[in-house]
Amino acid sequence: MRLASKSDIGKLRDINEDAYLVDGSLFAVADGMGGHRAGEIASELGLRTFREAFGPPEPDASEDAILMAIKKAVDQANTVIHARAAENKEYKGMGTTLTAAFFARGRLYVAQVGDSRAYLLRAGVIRQLTTDHTLVGEMIAKGEIDEEIARIHPLRHVITRALGTYAAIESEVYVEELAPGDKILLCSDGLSSKVDNDAIGRIVNDYKSLIGAINGLVKAALNAGGEDNITAVLAEFTEADFV
């Protein structure tokens, strides 16, 4: 597996509240929110706690065991952020999105809370693997609006789930069979809210190198306004990953 990653503060923000994790077969993106520097703390704390709690599982762990480990790690990250917020009034209400991916024996396990996204790019075609935990994301899932309307909807930034905002959280976990040549992109909404899915796919396909694709994605988001922090992690899987 080859990986490239980048986080950009954007054009308008004073602080980068995004964070990312790359550690072997585990990679993740988090987008923090809250008061003064609280979002930055939430995203970093969430990723660190998730990584420590996840392990990862033993090489021969079953699919059920991996799913359980991921959910427990998400729950632990939520608990730690929620407790930190309760200890300091400046951190009250802080939280973070989390989209984490773990690759094992040909399968990708993706855990999600919030609106950071995971995409699969296969044979030049992009497919969004995750569903946004936002008001408009729920409206899309119900067929009430489409992606085009969602991108300009006045409530598009209202998140319905985030780590740390409540004592308990319900995460979603997706399992995807991968194949050699597949690429997985994780990103914060600083990218996905400014560059549509098809354009993201075209940019990744236009570059031979992963870092070139990452730089191209960040540049596109900046050119589209860059009002938010922009973070992306791109992984490519080769024949050797499936031996």
Confidence of residue 150 (pLDDT cuts 50, 70, 90): confident
Determine the pLDDT at residue 57: 87
The span from the CA of 86 to the CA of 164, in Å, is 10
Are 126 and 200 in contact, with CB atoms under 8 Å apart? yes
Confidence of residue 135 (pLDDT cuts 50, 70, 90): confident
What is the tally of structural domains in the chain?
Answer: 1
Give pLDDT tens digits for 175-198: 999 999 999 999 999 999 999 999
Confidence of residue 156 (pLDDT cuts 50, 70, 90): confident
Give pLDDT tens digits for 76-95: 999 999 999 999 888 988 99
The string over 183-211, giving b where at least 16 C-beta atoms fall within 10 Å of a residue's C-beta and e elsewhere, is: bbbbbbbbbbbbbeeeebbebbeebeebe
Of residues 73 and 145, which shows the higher confidence score? 73
Confidence of residue 56 (pLDDT cuts 50, 70, 90): confident
Q: How far apart are the first and last CA of the chain?
A: 12
Determine the pLDDT at residue 9: 97
Q: Which domain holds residue 171?
A: 2-242
pLDDT value at 242 more than 80: yes
Give pLDDT tens digits for 91-130: 988 999 999 999 999 999 999 999 999 999 999 999 999 9
**pTM (predicted TM-score):** 0.94
Q: For residue 93, give both structure tokens.
A: 């209400």
β-bridge pairing 18-23 and 117-122:
unpaired
Q: For residue 124, give both structure tokens.
A: 């030049």
**What's the rounded mean pLDDT across residues 43-56?**
96
CATH of the domain at 142: 3.60.40.10
